[in-house]
Structure 1
Amino acid sequence: MPESTIGIIAGQGQFPLLFARAAKKKGLKVVAVAHKGETLAELAAEVDEITWVRLGQLGKLIKALKQSGATRAVMCGGVKKTRMFKDVRPDFKAMTLLNKLRHMADDGILRTFCKVLEDEGISVLASHELVPELLASAGVYTQRGPNPEEEEDLQVGWQLAGELGSLDIGQCVVVHRKVTVAVEAVEGTDACIKRAGELTHKQGGVVVKRLKPIQDMRFDLPSVGSATIETMKQAGATCLVIEPGSTLVFDREEMVRIADNADICVLAHS
């Protein structure tokens, strides 16, 4: 039955794998549409069916989901937004979507994408509802909390990240000594943190990542993990601030272990 099948529209990282495992444990048939150059090859071993597409092959994506019998799908993992400038070749279906957009902001693109799927009989669900254990809980995760200077930068960054998100630009900002050092746009969180490290000469910085106020919870939730902490180490950043209840936290124990060893504070702030 279609209700026993769930489709995964898979992007980068480990989230598609984690979601697939959780769905299988619940007895669901899992079919994936994976993006070449983005999705981990290991996903193939975690799902019942997989179809590989290139960015922009919306028609092929829809056909794969419909042929598998999936009337429900989730979006797991993002794609490098910078690829839109070099190797995206939209098919006719994707061109139809793009022609409906007034601008190329993240939320607008994804909402329109979901509407196209729904018109084809495929409901887009919130992926985190099947894996709620991955959502951040409030509190300090590491052995130490923020020091007074980091607390001041946290407050500046928290407000700024909210303003940035309300414009549908990005989810992450880096603040050092009350100075906004870097803001995230199409380059992504890791590149934003690395740029901040260059500008501060690796002398510190508070990384704030939070949900956009206008964001649809069905897609592109903020996410962090051990790779985020490794990037912060390289950039000299000393504190990571995330939002409870709306941020996905991957490999939490490993993330906290690396952070404690590097004297980096991690907390979920509201």
Structure 2
Amino acid sequence: MTRTAVIAGQGALAPAVIAALDDPLVYALDGFAPDGVDAQPFRLERLVPFLDSLLDQGVSRVVFAGAIRRPRLDPELFDSRTAQLVPRIMMAMQSGDDGALRAVLDVFQEHGLTIASVAEVAPGLIPAEGVLAGEPSAADRRDAARAALILATLGPLDVGQGAVVAQGQCLAIETLPGTEAMLDFAARHAGLRPNPNGAKGVFFKAPKPGQDMRIDLPTLGPDSVIQAAQAGLAGIAWQAGGVILLDRAEAIRRADAAGLFLWAMPHSGI
């Protein structure tokens, strides 16, 4: 029997993944447990003993679910074996969050643990290609394709996983402040659209090119729909098979109520 441990990050994804699993062990970085989740804390300074404890409990598979921020490390708390990993992880961190995450995943795997993706353990959270609500216009589809191209081009810079495009013009890029800040920025600059009566714009999400699909997938949910509506956009599009949609039924209900489309678009953008 495969025993699974969930590394729970902040946000609504961890509870959804936990609900899809049969009696998982749940852990979170000390101080970063998501609300409403009973997670056992662990510290990165004692990563190797933590991995040993997982193996001792029969864990063979680990799922990362939710936003994980870099904790402040206390040099005095490192055990000798974890301390040996510090130069390697610090070097990886210089290449951005993706590099740091890959380095941590490598350590888990080197200890005999398999890293499972959300798609493996909770496939219902990742919509396949298709329109889930409303109907994007031809102009909306062009804006979504433009946003996909922008994100694909920015991918090597490890900037973000979202963009807002209206009438072919990029109104906002998701950066460290996150999706809500990006959509608020787009709302405040909606007047920059060339034609005030033209296409309202599209919020698009996708994984970064070359992203490890086992961790840090972009996530949408009912709150995303409300935020897109408040930004005055026509709808939300995302890369099919590469984005998590939380509480699908409620997201669709809110989109229908607000007159927004929800579209899991093919990777080609066609």
Fold equivalence (TM over 0.5): yes
Structure 1 residue runs of 4+, over 4 Å off?
A: 54-57
Q: 1:10-29, aligned counterparts within 5 Å?
A: 10-24=8-22, 29=23
1:65 corresponds to which residue? 54
CA-to-aligned-CA distance 1:236-266 (integer Å, 9 cap, x gap): 2221011111211111111011111111111
Shift of 1:41: 3.6
Distance across 2 between alignment mates of 1:235 and 1:59: 45
**Scaled by the length of structure 2, what TM-score is found?**
0.83
| Kept in 2: contact 1:15–1:76 (CA 8 A) | yes
2:33 corresponds to which residue? 39
Distance change (3 Å), C-alpha of 1:228 and 1:258: same
Amino acid at match of 1:33: Y
2:118 corresponds to which residue? 127
Give the root-mean-square deviation of aligned CA atoms. 2.5
Q: 1:126-205, aligned counterparts within 5 Å?
A: 126-142=117-133, 144-200=134-190, 204-205=200-201
Shift of 1:104: 3.9
Aligned-partner SS, 1:145: coil
CA-to-aligned-CA distance 1:201-221 (integer Å, 9 cap, x gap): 598431110122201111111
Shift of 1:156: 1.1
Q: 1:45-84, aligned counterparts within 5 Å?
A: 50-53=39-42, 58=47, 61-62=50-51, 64-80=53-69, 84=70
Percent sequence identity is 28
Shift of 1:172: 0.6
- Structure 1: tracts of 5 or more residues without a match: 45-49
**Scaled by the length of structure 1, what TM-score is found?**
0.83
Shift of 1:122: 2.3
Distance change (3 Å), C-alpha of 1:52 and 1:88: same
Distance across 2 between alignment mates of 1:145 and 1:220: 28
Provide the aligned length of Structure 1 versus Structure 2: 253
Shift of 1:31: 1.0
Distance across 2 between alignment mates of 1:265 and 1:55: 41
Instruction: Give the greater-gyration-radius structure (CA).
Output: 2
Distance across 1 between alignment mates of 2:27 and 2:91: 23
Matched, 1:89 2:73: yes
Distance change (3 Å), C-alpha of 1:211 and 1:22: same
Matched, 1:248 2:244: yes
Distance across 2 between alignment mates of 1:227 and 1:97: 38
| Kept in 1: contact 2:10–2:35 (CA 8 A) | no
1:259 corresponds to which residue? 255
